[in-house]
Amino acid sequence: MLFGVQLSNFKPSSNIKFDHEDFDTVSALLRMSTKYCVEHIRRDILRGMSVIWPKTLGGWEFREAEATGPTGVYKPRAMYPHPV
């Protein structure tokens, strides 16, 4: 029960970054918040991830352009979280 109380008071938007270094933390929090029905954490994480993984083609093209360097080299893993 103590875990549930601590998880329900957690504010992910102020404590984690949605980048390639914190993917393990973000994915673990998403799984736990889904499993234990802590909707405010789940919503915050999904909101943060939607910036990185856009739902529209225009958003995706913008994301891909940002991951392409000035020399034309595409390196998304250096910028964005990735499960692999």
pLDDT digits 0-9 by tens, 48-84: 888 788 889 999 899 889 888 889 898 887 777 766 5
Residue reference for tokens 């601590």: 6
pLDDT digits 0-9 by tens, 22-33: 888 888 989 999
Do 29 and 38 meet the contact criterion of CB atoms below 8 Å apart? no
| Cα–Cα distances in angstroms (integers) from residue 61 to residues 8, 23, 28, 56, 80, in the given order | 36, 22, 28, 9, 14
